[in-house]
Every structure is written in C-alpha cells, then in structure tokens.
Chain A
C-alpha cells in the first residue's frame, strides 16, 4: 500500500496511522518485510506537503528511521533512507538529530557506497543537514571526503548531483576540510579534476552549476588557489554562462550570486570576470526584469517569488564584487544603462534583500574618487542613503554607513549637503552603538567629516558626541576603532586656533587619554597616531603648556626619540620641534627651550644626527635649528 495523492496522505495522518506504523518499525519481532512496507509508506507520506512532513517529524519519525538504518536488511535500510532523504530535503527536520550520536554518522558513511540508493539518499541527507562548521568537521573526521570522491565518478545522475551538493556544503568556508577535499583522490585523480569532467559543456546546466559551486567553495575556503586555471578559466566562465538568457531564471540568479562570491576578494579574478563573455552587460539585463512572474519553483514549493527583485539583487551583488577594486571596471559598471536609477529605486524598496544588495553595490562604487565627484553627486545618492541609515535594519546599516563614510571624504562634493542634513547627529548615534562595525563606521564618518573642516563643525562634533563618549572610544579594545578615534581627535586638533580652543576645554582629558595610550600595549601605528596628536597639540599656542607642564609626557617623548622604530622617533622629534618652534621670538619659547635643554633633549637631538634615516635626520636638524 503506497499512497500517491496528498489527500490520502492527510487521511493516513488524521486516522492516526503514523504511531502505529512507527510501532511496527520499532518492534523487532515483526517481520522485516512488514517493517520495510511501513517505512515505504512513511516515505510516501514524506513526499507530500510541508504539513505532512511536519506531522512525520512531530510523530518522532526521524528518531525511528535513524534507528532503522542499523538494520541488517538492506531493503529496510534503503526504505528508511529514502524517507529520511525526503524529510531532510524539506529543510524542516532538525539537523542536530543526525549528529546526536556519532555512531549514526560513522554508520551512514560506512554504508554510503553500498548501493545507488544509499549513495543517493545519504549524500542528499548530508547535503541538507550540514549546516555548521561543527557539522562539517564531524563529517570530515568520519571519512566523508574519502567516501564522496568515488561517487563523483558514478554514472548515475541522481548520485552525482547530491554528491556535489554535499561536497559544496562541507567545504563552505571551512579551510581544513577544503584542503582535504582538494587533495583527496579517486583512482589517482584529485577531486578538482573529477569535478572538471562534470563541468564540461555537454553536461546539463544543473550539473555544470553544481560543479562550479563546488569549485567556488573549494577556492574561497582556501583549498584551491585563485591562480589555479580551474578557477578563472573553467569555474568563472561556467558561472557567467549560467547568467545568460538561455538559462532559467533560477540558474541566472544562482550563477550571478555564486559569481559574486567567487570574485569577492581577489582583484585579479575581478579583472578577469570584467572581461569574461560580456558579463557586465549580461547582468545589466537583470535590472530590466520588472514583471512579477509567478513560476512555481522546485525548491520553494508553491511560494510565489518576485523574480524581478531576485534578479536585481543578484545583479547588484555581482556588480559589487566585480567592481570592488578597479577604477576602470567601476566605470564600466556605472556606464550600464540607468544603473544609478536602479540602485536608487532598490534602496527605497521595502525588500531588505534588495536594499542590502543595492547598498553593497553602491558601497563598492563609492570607492571611486571620480564617481564620487560625478555620478554620485548628480544622483544625490546621499539622500536615500541617509534615509536608509535612519530607518534601516542593522545589516543594511553597516554597509550603508560605510558608504556614507566614503561620501564624506574631503574631495566628495556631497560632503556639504550631507553635513547640512544632520549627518553629525546620525554618525554620533552610530558611534555610540554596541555593534563594532557600526561604531567603527560612525567614528570613521566623523573623522572624515572633521578633516579640514570649520571650527563650528568641529565643536559640533565634540558637543554632539560628548567628550565622555569620545574618551570611551579612546579606550575601545578594537584597534581599528581606536585608530579611527585617534584620527578623529587628530583632525579635530588641527589649525592653531582650533587646537587652542579645544584644548582649552578638554585639555586635561586629552592629555590623560594620550598618556594612557602611550603607556598601553598598542601597535606602532596607534602609538604613532597618538604621538602625532601630541605634535598637533604642540603646534597650538597655549596648548603647548599642556605638554610642557607634564614632565611625564616629556620623558615619554624622549624615550620615543630613542625608540628602535624610526616612525615613532620621527613623530616624537616632530613634537619637540613644534614645542621649540620660535615664531614670535617671545620669552615663552626661550623658556621652553631652556627647560628641554635641562632635560637633555638637545643632547639627545645632537646624538640623533647620526641616524641613517633621512627623514628623521631632516626633522632632527630642523628641531636643532630652533634652539638658540
């Protein structure tokens, strides 16, 4: 008795047959034929709707089936596996059940190669229930990779496909597993070359796509090098082919998204992608899909998909990756018909996925000086961007605020407009967030904003952010945040009048923070930045006193002048040079010189004249010339 139609399946469930069937399966005294029949019926129910599968799971079916696979009767085992496969492919079943007992994993790997059915089912099960790095590692340590390699050579389509999916998921972002996969062999042939056979152009699109995905994940996790010709000359063109019009929309989307992932971090691959088979104009066509086609997708059951939006977000992602590093490529992308309008429209869409992808694309393009000056200005990109930061969800927020940072660079013509529409407030809010990425972008934006700006802006920044928050940020553990905060401080403390007025109010705190950082265990870059802040302070008029009156700081400066790193020596010497700078020939200056001479600074400088470092030598010479 096997049931074909969904109504009858519901009837079976409603009549309470499931517990009875499960009971039969658990009962060792029942003949294995009958138990097999029961498993087959469950398998048939599992091919029904999501509700049917949910009922099976609720009835404790998975547990019984996982027990069933240990049976000695192959037919029964196969029936259990078929049912498990159907349940797991629905993505409803909890993956952890498979991992609760390591014996299950090792048993599944052991019986993997037995028959075409076990091959197909077990690879399918793992391809949909390997979800975490822990899962990947467990499968790997139980010999999964070695068991999968021979299946790539199988001539059964239904085995090859889940085998590749399985390989892809166990490699995904897992360095050690993908190294193992890349070097595993069958019949002396490594897995990558076995995959090359499956990516051949006379294979079905589906198979080419699956093989390309495997190779992409292998490469991204470090198993293959970007220089291995398999990546640029086989994987890449295959993915680009999947983006062409003659493939299905699903393949178009999958192709573009996988391509985006493939080239995301490697500038050379981005360059190759940009000239491969007209990919940019191919992707541009994606943006023109506006009609909502209600095609029932295989994976998503009866859910309607907005293909237009899916296509758009896939294209944006691909554009973002391809244009991440190269100015010429960005130009080529921006020249795509109405791209900016599409991005603007997508940013105001109510679909988070599309919003995110569009913003990512915008972010990638905002790294271009030229585009900032032209296209971005023309389209007043900052408006929707600011709006997005105001109301957007956290994921979009990170990428949007990062884009805003680029728009605040000094050469960006949008800087003024953004400032006027309340950016300081917005950035200060970000800088006070918990999320390090948002905090960083907030400080970064403020730093860019403070660069060579008017005093009004500077004091507004300090007032809005609050000196307290500023000093909280200065003690942040994240070195990049600390670095940007120091950058902000340095930008605030530039130009004599600004230095004096800010130091007038916050002098003590600034000095405290500086000493704190100089004493702390920080990288050279951070210390240099801090010394540069001191140099800026020393450039002020009254501000100089903050250093002169602090013998502790002066001693520190001297010790940095003796530091083994010339970068720090230069910064410290520069500070001294500013302190002894004699502009107005005033008494205060002689005073300072006298004090420093007493401390032995002048002698130190004279000793430093022997330095092999040319820049340091120049600085030392300048400083010595100031001493009268």
Chain B
C-alpha cells in the first residue's frame, strides 16, 4: 500500500516539475538560475543528524530523542535566496506537531549551527510554533504572532528590497518580523520533538498567500521611483540629450529620412553628412539581402582602404559570402540562376530591415495606449510636477519602441527560416517566396494584425506536411553547376586567405572556427537541414552587417555604437551588478520591460 501510493505521488511530482520551472520563472523573472539557483528543496547535506528528509527532499521529520533544547535540529534549503528575486516567498505546512510542537520556521546564513532552532544564533531568524514568538539572532523570543500547529500553513516572505521579513499563517499576513536582514540567507526549518513533520512549498505548487499581489506593489513602487527620478533640466540639456540619443540611433542604423525629419523638428545636428549615411544604408541593404560580393565591392568603392586595414573583418565578410554562395543568394551565383535581375533587386530591398522600420515607427504608436493606463492609473497630484519628465519618457519610449521593432523583425526572420528550412521549392523561387512572406509579415506585424500573420504561416506548415520530403529539392548554389564550380573556387581562395592571415598575424581561433563552420556546410547533402545549417539563416547576416557598419563609422572617426545601445547595455549590466551586490530592487526594474 505505502509503496504504491508513494510511487503515485512521485509520478505526479514529476509531472509537476515541468510546471515548477514555469512557476518559478514567473515568480522570479529576474533571477538567472545558471548563476544563482533558486532553493527548490531541503539540502540532504546541510542538516543536523536528527533531521530526516523524504518526498523529494521537501518533507522534513524529526528523528532524535527530543529531550531538551540541545536536541533541536535544523535543515537549510539547497541554495540561498538570490537577491534578484526582489521578493522571495516559501510556505511550510505543518503535517504534524509531534509531541510538543517546538517547530521553528525561518532563515539562516550558511554555516550557522544546525543543532539549533532557527533564530537562536547570529544570522539566524525564526518564528516558533509553540509560543508564536519571533527569534531574531537571540535565544530570547519576542512576542510576534499566533501559535501554529498541525494543519496550519506558515509562509515566510523575504523582502530583499527593504531587507525585511514577514510571516503568514493560513494566508493571513502577520506583519513584519525582522528588519535589516543580511544577504544570502537560506530558507530554514528546525524541529525539536519526536513526531514533528513539516513540508515545504518552494513554489512548486500554488501558495495560499497571494504573494504576487504583494510583488505588484513593489513593481509599481520601483517603476515610480524610476519614472519620478528627478533630473535637473534647467537649460534643456536633458531634453537635448534625449534628442541626441534618438538622432544618433537613427543615423547609426541608416534610417536616413527619419533622421533628417527628426533633426529638422528638434534642431539636432547630424554629425555625418546625408550622402555618407545613404552609402552605409546601401551597403547594409546588400549585406542583409545576402548579396555579399556586391556589398564588399561597394564598400571598397566608397571606403577605399577600409577593408585592407581590417583583414579580419574582410575575412568575416568573405566567409559570409561563401555561405551566401551555398545559399544561392550571393550575386556571384545568383546571376547564373533562373531569376531575372529585376525581381531580384526588388526582393532584396524589401528584405532589408533599415528601410522598413521607419514605417513601423509610425504605426507602432498604437503601443502607447497600452502603456498610458498604467501611467494615468496613478492620479496623485505630484504627477503634474514631473510632467516634463514624463513627456521626455514618452520620447524615450518612442525610440525604444524602434529598437523593439528591430528585435521583432529579427524574430520574424527567425520564423521565416523555419518555414524556409522545409519548403519544397527550387531555391530561387523559395527566395522569392520568403521575401514575399517577410514583406507581408513585417507589415502585418507593424499593424499588430497577428491573426492574419498566423494564418499565413499556418498554411505554409500544412504544405510542408503534405510534401513530407526531408531530402529537399533545394540545391546547392541554386542547383547551377557553374555556380557550384565558382563556389568551390571561391572556397579555395578563402582557404588561402586564411593561411595568409595566419602567417601574417598568427593564429586566430575565431577565424579558424568561422572557416570550418562555413566549409562544413558542404559535408551535407542538405545543408539547410544539417546541424550547421543555422549559418544559412538570414538572421545571421545581422552581426556581419553590424560589424561592417561599425567599422565604417569608426574609420570616419564616428562612434561605432549608438549611445542608445550603449545606454541599454550599461543599464542591463547595471542590473546584473545590482543582483550581485544584493540590491533587491533590480528584480522590478527590468530593462527589457522598458524596451517592450
């Protein structure tokens, strides 16, 4: 009997572990578990002998004599509570109060004596069931809450923003118990008399207390702190800084006409001349269209000497060109395919994100109504005093939206590839199709008319199912023999360039790797569905494009990264540092939340 019921429980728990991850991710989105794992069970190693564990190390029972307080025994969770939780919460159900119900629930630092109840020693904190007292690193308790016993569920919440802790009993908030808590505390329980059994819920099951409601308050508070952060703007410096951030971003990515319009309105000078921006724009379009050969030539035309002084960049470009040859998109092989140059040109420009995005900027305004209610929800009088700042924030939102769109488009590209990878047409048609799809999707996305978009992709999938042909008809270099010859020839050239580079500058792992990866495409009959096939995805053009763009800008003495991206990167890094430094509010100040 016991056995069978035990195994049934295990099964159900296995099923639940799937959702435990999701649940924990939802509760603590800012926690990066690869660095700071969350407590998920009691530690079989970090406990006193009198403690027994069962039920996936969630259930704790006492197995000592329990004669005096010297027989007290505790267990800690497997990991300390990460600061990036912001607010951390766990619940403990009292399965049985045993002989005397001397149970303590709380927190302790690593290394605190386990032959004790939580709260009795330094860096140890506990709430005890027999008297309802709280113990704050002291053998003497303080009157705190009600007693607890068999059947009760006690919750312990650590507020890492304010460094406080409160308990709950059966969902009732009992009020703050401890303040000025140190960082890196472990969930801890302690038992002292025979028969005492408790079981923990670290988030694998829904809590009785509504902790998410509590978190909402801090998310809101943190947002208010950020949005109301006072910025002195007596001479309009703040405003113009924001304008410059927008302007430089537009210029950097070659949103030429938007940049011009923006600079006209804000009287913001553009450091680079328009012609130069247009040149970069053109090169970027070519790279994003996969027409690497043309891109390299154009670069050499407009910026003579640039690639020569950047041999590693040139090598990267050429590796990409090789990949595009395999893909059948590069001009060298594309000219030999069935397609007419005209339609090819059309599809090329449609694909490139720089020209499309300004369109989105306009239509993406419909994102703002979603944001405003949260802002206007706070109707307090002090709001008017920060009005100026708010409008600035709106501006900032405007441009972050831009960034967002770019990301969105990337993901669109991703999506397309999956359609791509299994499509059953000849490669040139395929490209045409893909281009068409991107076009459509980009537009629908911009209008956030996702229903239509989904419908489209769904059709594609059904088509793929029907064909059910893994050895695709899609062929190397568009299936053209001459093109294959060219490609192989080109590969040889690339090989010798690599050797030359090594002789000249010594070993370069990145280059070596890039070349190997590119060449390994040839090892498969269907490179698109091969393990190295991801290189063929259009999205992989983007880092190449960015590197080239940065190099051009750098050569002209301009910043190789736009200030906006630097600011975002700094903010993101700052959040990580806050998490390391134990500053809990980083949990509620997600940079990406502002970008979305």
B220 near A155: Cβ-Cβ < 8 Å:
no
Chain A residues touching B, range: 10 to 19
Interface residues of A in 397-413 (CB under 8 A from B): none
User: B172 to chain A: which residues have CB within 8 Å?
Assistant: 232-233, 237, 272, 275-276
Give the contacting residue for B173; candidates A155, A200, A202, A276; CB below 8 A: A276
Contact of B171 among A157, A202, A229 (CB under 8 A): A229
11 sampled A-B residue pairs with Cβ under 8 A = A155-B373, A200-B213, A201-B217, A202-B216, A233-B172, A233-B210, A234-B210, A240-B173, A275-B145, A276-B173, A278-B175
Check A277/B377 contact, CB under 8 A, given A201-B214, A202-B216, A202-B219: no
Of residues B175, B214, B219, which shows the largest number of chain A Cβ atoms within 10 Å of its Cβ? B175
Q: Is the CB of A204 within 8 A of B378?
A: yes
Residues of chain A whose beta carbon lies under 8 Å from any beta carbon of chain B: 155, 157, 200-204, 206, 229, 232-234, 237, 240, 272, 275-278
- The closest CB in chain A to the CB of B376 belongs to A157
Closest CB in chain B relative to A540 CB, distance in Å: 53
B174 within 8 A of A: yes
**B489 nearest CB across to chain A (Å):** 64
With CB as the reference atom, state the residue of chain B lying closest to A199. Answer: B213
Contacts of A278 in B (CB 8 A): 174-176
The reply to whether A277 and B173 contact each other, CB–CB distance below 8 Å, is yes
How many angstroms from the CA of A193 to the CA of B181 in the assembled complex? 36
Describe B's contact surface by its main secondary structure: mixed
**How near does chain A come to B131, taking the closest CB pair, in angstroms?**
14
- What is the bound-complex CA distance between A201 and B588, given in angstroms? 15
For B171, list chain A residues within 8 Å (CB): 229, 233
B335 sits at the interface (CB 8 A) = no
- CB pair A277 B174 closer than 8 Å: yes
List chain B residues, Cβ under 8 A from A157. 376-377, 379
B588 CB, nearest partner CB in chain A, Å: 11
Select from chain B the residue with minimum beta-carbon distance to A208.
Answer: B217
Tell me the minimal C-beta distance from B574 to chain A in angstroms.
Answer: 24
With contacts A232-B172, A276-B174 known, is A204 near B379, CB below 8 A? yes
Given A204-B378, A276-B172, 6 other A-B contacts at CB below 8 A? A157-B379, A275-B169, A275-B172, A275-B174, A276-B173, A277-B175
Q: What 5 A-B pairs are tightest by C-beta distance, nearest first?
A: A201-B217, A278-B175, A202-B220, A202-B216, A277-B175
B153 to chain A, nearest CB (A): 12
Q: Please, which residue of chain B has its CB at the minimum distance from the CB of A279?
A: B175
B380's nearest neighbour on chain A, judged by CB, is A204
Q: Give the residue among B172, B174, B216, B378 with the most A Cβ atoms within 10 A.
A: B172
- Whether, in the assembled complex, B470 has its beta carbon less than 8 Å from a beta carbon of chain A, the answer is no
Query: Which residues of chain A come closer than 8 Å to B169, judged between CB atoms?
Result: 275
Do A237 and B379 touch across chains, with their CB atoms under 8 A apart? no
Is B388 close to A, CB under 8 A? no
What does the 1/0 interface line of B225-257 toward A look like (CB < 8 Å)?
A: 000000000000000000000000000000000
Identify the interface centre among A202, A203, A206, A277: most chain B CB within 10 Å of its CB. A202
Give the distance in Å from the alpha carbon of A201 to the alpha carbon of B219 in the complex.
10
Q: Which residues of A contact B380 (CB under 8 A)?
A: 204
Contacts of A206 in B (CB 8 A): 379
Q: How far is the CB of A180 from chain B (nearest CB, A)?
A: 28
Among B145, B175, B216, B373, contact of A201 (Cβ-Cβ < 8 Å): B216
| CB neighbours of A229 from chain B (8 A) | 171
On chain B, the residues within 8 Å of A240 by CB distance are: 173
* B166 nearest CB neighbor, chain A only: A277
Q: Which residues of the other chain, B, contact A276 by a CB distance below 8 angstroms? A: 172-175
- One digit per residue, 1 when the CB lies within 8 angstroms of any chain A CB and 0 when it does not, for chain B 171-196 equals 11111100000000000000000000
Q: Nearest Cβ in chain B — how far from A333, in angstroms?
A: 14
Q: What residue of chain B has the Cβ atom nearest to residue A237's Cβ? A: B173
Q: Does B146 contact A (CB under 8 A)?
A: yes
Distance in angstroms from A246 CB to nearest chain B CB is 10
A342 CA to B339 CA, complexed, in Å: 94
For chain B residues 452-478, which have a beta carbon within 8 Å of chain A? none
Cβ contact of A275, chosen from B146, B216, B220, B378, cutoff 8 A: B146
Nearest residue (CB) in B for A274 is: B146
Q: How far is the CA of A232 from the CA of B176 in the complex (A)?
A: 18
Complex formed: what's the CA distance from A91 to B174 in Å?
40
Q: Which residues of A contact B217 (CB under 8 A)?
A: 201-202
Query: Shortest Cβ distance from B176 into chain A, in angstroms?
Result: 7
Bound-state Cα–Cα, A277 to B219, Å: 21
Report the nearest B residue to A275, measured CB to CB: B146
Could you tell me if B377 and A204 are in contact, using CB atoms closer than 8 angstroms? Answer: yes
CA distance A240 to B172 in the complex (A): 12
Q: Which residues in A have their C-beta under 8 angstroms from that of B166? A: 277
Please, which residues of chain A bring their CB within 8 A of the CB of B376? 157
User: Per-position contact with A for B463-504: 1 when CB-CB < 8 Å, else 0?
Assistant: 000000000000000000000000000000000000000000
A157 to B145, alpha carbons, bound, how many Å?
38
Across the two chains, which residue of chain A brings its CB closest to B171? A233
Most buried by B among A229, A234, A240, A276: A276
Residues of B within 8 A of A237 (CB): 172-173
Whole-angstrom distance between the alpha carbons of A602 and B344 in the complex? 124
Q: Taking A272-B172, A277-B174 as contacts, is the C-beta distance between A201 and B377 under 8 angstroms?
A: no
Q: Mark B359-384, 1 if CB is under 8 A from A, else 0.
A: 00000000000000100111110000
Bound: A157/B213 CA distance, A: 20
Find chain A residues with CB under 8 A from B219 CB. Answer: 202
Kindly state the separation between the CA atoms of A384 and B172 in the bound complex, as whole angstroms.
38
Chain B residues positioned under 8 Å from A201 (CB to CB): 213-214, 216-217, 220
| Min CB–CB distance A531 → chain B (angstroms) | 46
**What separation, in Å, do the CA atoms of A275 and B145 have in the docked complex?**
6
Measured in the bound complex, the distance between the Cα atoms of B373 and A485 in whole Å is: 64
The CA of A277 and the CA of B176, in the complex, are separated in Å by 7
Residues in chain B near residue A233, CB distance under 8 A: 171-172, 210
Residues of A within 8 Å of B214, CB to CB, are: 201
* Complex CA distance for A202 and B377, rounded to whole angstroms: 9
Q: Which B residues touch A272, using CB under 8 A? A: 172
How would residues 204 to 215 of chain B score, 1 for a CB under 8 Å from any chain A CB and 0 otherwise? 000000100110
CB distance from B150 to the nearest CB of A (A): 18
Of all chain B residues, which has the CB nearest A335? B143
Q: A623–B202 Cα gap in the complex (Å)?
A: 71
Q: Who on chain A is nearest to B169 by CB?
A: A275
| A90–B172 alpha-carbon span in the complex (Å) | 39
Q: Which residues of A contact B145 (CB under 8 A)?
A: 275
A residues in contact with B176, CB < 8 Å = 278
CB nearest to A232 among chain B residues: B172
Rounded to whole angstroms, the CA-CA distance of A278 and B176 in the bound complex is 8
Instruction: Give the chain A neighbours of B216 by CB distance below 8 A.
Output: 200-202
| A330 CB → nearest B CB, Å | 16
Question: Nearest CB to that of B144 among chain A residues?
Answer: A278
